[in-house]
Amino acid sequence: MMGLLNSFLIFTFINLNVATSEPPAGEVDWMTFEQAIQKNQSNKRYIFIDLYTDWCGWCKRMDATTFKESEVVTFMNEHFYSVKFDAEQKEDVKYKDQTFKFVAAGRNGIHQLAYALLDGQLSYPSFVVLDKQEKRVTVLKGYMDKASLLAKLKVIVK
């Protein structure tokens, strides 16, 4: 009986180790705007900026669906520095000898960098793609599923 119990415990222990040692599902390698700009100095890539707000339902849906799709994760991590940028964040951002700040307005306010990236056309979710020289290539707006997002991004990097 003791041998059977020991075998069961060893089998269970091995199975638990195998189950917990698998790598987690891939995720987009999100970073701050400043981190993306810094990385781009030494290793040029496109920069994908996800402009969102805490109250944006479609932004949350994309986070839960589109940005979890393995094809999207792989493509974005291979071709882009991906930035999550809260368009209502309070922290200053320094970029190209300029300091962008939060401006209170109404219930929430807006960050000057989000306003500049979107030319004042604020809607969420919005996505800005910068080329390897940090020039704006395009602005994409609204919820996109895997196929829509990948189609647009593949055109940009070709």
> How confident is the model at residue 1, as a pLDDT?
54
pTM, to two decimals: 0.82
Residue 92 belongs to a domain: no
Residue 112 belongs to a domain: no
Q: 3: pLDDT confidence band, cut at 50, 70 and 90?
A: low
Q: What is the pLDDT of residues 108-142, one digit of tens each?
A: 899 999 999 999 999 999 999 999 999 999 999 99
Please give the Cα distance from 9 to 7 (Å, whole number): 5
Is residue 157 predicted with pLDDT exceeding 50?
A: yes
The per-residue DSSP string of 94-149 comes to: EETTEEE-EE--TTT-EEHHHHHHTTT---SSEEEEE-TTS-EEEEEES---HHHH
136: CATH: 3.40.30.10
